[in-house]
């Protein structure tokens, strides 16, 4: 007999987020910019404050009590993240400054060692600049070729086209786990299987996927996964690169300096074991510890409940927005193929003007090109307004948001 589906009590959850008590322009804050960065609950804030107030010291280097406490907290956070993404071993979990640094690490270290003239890197037109620009620079340096998988009219990636684009020159497939504009959830397992069959390595940008869906890197089968702490209730300045240890072992270091070495002579050095080999210098101890607290918070709620809550909000918002005159919605219709965000544009109204009008009602959304210029050109729009929901958003937030959009259209049209 299956256990009953857990549901989130977003009204109760909201009490954990002090910033949600703010007013903006005299109105209660409604925060719908979660795809850019999420808010932080008391357990995360308190864990970071506790570290600085009780155990602040550098990790891995001190034989005193504070150093040992800091090291234990830091490495416990790694174990927490390892379990959260179901990594087979903690050696493959590397702390970075975020998704961007993690992808650059792979491009610099794996890419430089494995790409040659004429090789191909397969991307999609959905990619955020962070999963495009590193490969552009690498392709230019190595005289490799970038190949792009287009979307269908609803923003999905047609896998029959993928089969035609994969060749014996494809060395890497770099793809988002979920689009930060269209909301599309990418069928990663099927992409990984086809890429591996072609002999390619797979890099996944998980920045928009990991905060909302249960992720199992072993089930997905990807070779690398990058994500950021600040989009999943954690602090800024910390993220994760998961890599298969057998690949990481072969890769040269990305940054060099303290801690990532085993022994150093005047003319040579030997590198530290994983994961330390890729964590040069003093890491963001507080950041990693805060991320561990964020993951613990999400685990307590249950990622299936987090996903279901987001799906409910995006369905309601989609249904209401689709009734407004002049509004064009982007991406596939609400289903289990979407993360909880909606991008849209309004006839005759610049996205920045619409977002400013919403801000007057205390509603925070994102407006612009969302670091996805190629996709905006593909859609033929100068930008979109994006409302992105998370576990502390409510149906009342959705209703207030849609009403504010209608008022803005009436004002600006």
> Residue 130 has what DSSP assignment?
G
**pLDDT tens per residue, range 56-109:** 999 998 899 999 999 999 999 999 999 999 999 999 999 999 999 999 999 999
Give Cβ neighbours of residue 42 (< 8 Å, ≥ 6 apart).
16, 17, 18
By DSSP bridging, strand 366-368 and strand 327-329 are unpaired
Distances in whole angstroms, Cα of residue 351 to Cα of each of 347, 357, 369, 386, 407: 10, 10, 9, 9, 14
Q: How many CB atoms lie within 10 A of CB 253?
A: 18
pLDDT at 1: 41
Q: How many CB atoms lie within 10 A of CB 120?
A: 21
Instruction: Point out the domain boundary residue: 269, 299, 329.
Output: 299
Instruction: Point out the domain boundary residue: 249, 267, 299.
Output: 299
Of 269, 268, 192, the C-alpha closest to 225 is 192
Per the prediction, the chain carries an average pLDDT of 96
Handedness of CA 41, 33, 338, 232 (dihedral sign): negative
The phi and psi torsions of 70 (rounded to 5 degrees) equal -60, -45
Which residues, listed in sequence order, are joined to residue 342 by a DSSP beta bridge? 387
Count the alpha carbons within 13 Å of 325 in the hemisphere toward its beta carbon: 5
Instruction: Point out the domain boundary residue: 281, 299, 317.
Output: 299
Please identify which residue in the block is written with the tokens 């925070």: 364
The total number of structural domains in the chain stands at 2
pLDDT at 7: 87
Task: Give the domain range for residue 14.
Answer: 10-31+302-412
Let me know if residue 238 belongs to a domain.
Answer: yes
- From the candidates 82, 222, 330, 371, give the one annotated as an active-site residue: 371
Let me know if residue 5 belongs to a domain.
Answer: no
Shared domain check, 251 and 209: yes
Task: Calculate what percentage of the chain has a pLDDT beyond 90.
Answer: 97
The CATH number of whichever domain residue 275 belongs to comes to: 3.40.640.10
3-state DSSP call for residue 373? helix
Q: How many CB atoms lie within 10 A of CB 267?
A: 5
pTM, rounded to two decimals:
0.97
Let me know if residue 130 belongs to a domain.
Answer: yes
Let me know if residue 38 belongs to a domain.
Answer: no
Alpha-carbon dihedral 296, 297, 298, 301, rounded to 10 degrees? 120
Q: Is the peptide bond before 212 cis (omega within 30 degrees of 0)?
A: no
pLDDT at 243: 98
Q: Is the pLDDT assigned to residue 224 strictly greater than 70?
A: yes
**pLDDT tens per residue, range 354-402:** 999 999 999 999 999 999 999 999 999 999 999 999 999 999 999 999 9
pLDDT at 117: 98
**pLDDT tens per residue, range 32-63:** 999 999 999 999 999 999 999 999 999 998 89
Active site residue 371: yes
Q: What is the mean pLDDT of residues 310-337?
A: 94
Let me know if residue 36 belongs to a domain.
Answer: no
3-state DSSP call for residue 219? helix
Let me know if residue 195 belongs to a domain.
Answer: yes
pLDDT at 335: 76
Q: Is the pLDDT assigned to residue 253 strictly greater than 70?
A: yes
């Amino acid at each position: 007999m299956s256990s009953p589906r857990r549901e989130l009590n977003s009204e109760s959850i909201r009490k954990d987020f002090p910033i949600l008590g703010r007013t903006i322009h005299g109105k209660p804050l409604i925060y719908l910019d979660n795809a850019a960065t999420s808010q932080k609950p008391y357990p995360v804030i308190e864990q970071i404050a506790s570290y600085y107030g009780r155990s602040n010291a550098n990790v891995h280097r001190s034989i005193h009590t504070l150093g040992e406490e800091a090291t234990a907290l830091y490495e416990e956070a790694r174990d927490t993240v390892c379990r959260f993404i179901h990594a087979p071993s903690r050696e493959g979990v590397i702390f970075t400054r975020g998704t961007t640094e993690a992808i650059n690490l792979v491009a610099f270290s794996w890419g430089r060692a494995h790409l040659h003239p004429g090789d191909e890197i397969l991307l999609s037109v959905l990619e955020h600049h962070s999963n495009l620009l590193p490969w552009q620079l690498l392709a230019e340096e190595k005289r490799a070729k970038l190949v792009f998988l287009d979307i269908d009219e609803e923003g999905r990636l047609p896998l029959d086209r993928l089969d035609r684009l994969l060749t014996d020159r494809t060395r890497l497939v770099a793809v988002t786990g979920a689009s930060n504009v269209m909301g599309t959830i990418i069928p990663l397992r099927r992409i990984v299987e086809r890429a591996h069959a072609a002999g390619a390595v797979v890099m996944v940008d998980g920045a928009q996927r990991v905060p909302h869906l249960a992720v199992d890197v072993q089930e997905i089968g990807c070779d690398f996964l990058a994500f950021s702490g600040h989009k999943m209730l954690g602090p800024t300045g910390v993220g994760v690169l998961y890599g298969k240890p057998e690949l990481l072992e072969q890769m040269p270091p990305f940054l060099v300096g303290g801690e990532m070495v085993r022994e150093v002579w005047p003319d040579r050095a030997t590198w530290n074991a994983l994961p330390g080999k890729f964590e040069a210098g003093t890491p963001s101890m507080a950041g990693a510890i805060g991320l561990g607290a964020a993951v613990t918070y999400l685990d307590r709620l249950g990622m299936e409940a987090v996903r279901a809550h987001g799906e409910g909000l995006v369905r309601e918002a989609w249904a209401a927005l689709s009734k407004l005159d002049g509004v064009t919605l982007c991406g596939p219709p609400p289903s289990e193929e979407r993360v909880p965000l909606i991008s849209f544009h309004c006839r005759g109204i610049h996205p920045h003007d619409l977002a400013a009008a919403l801000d007057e009602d205390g509603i925070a959304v994102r407006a612009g090109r969302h670091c996805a210029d190629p996709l905006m050109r593909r859609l033929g729009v100068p930008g979109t307004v994006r409302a992105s929901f998370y576990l502390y958003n409510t149906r009342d937030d959705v209703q207030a948001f849609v009403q504010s959009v209608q008022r803005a259209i009436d004002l600006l049209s």
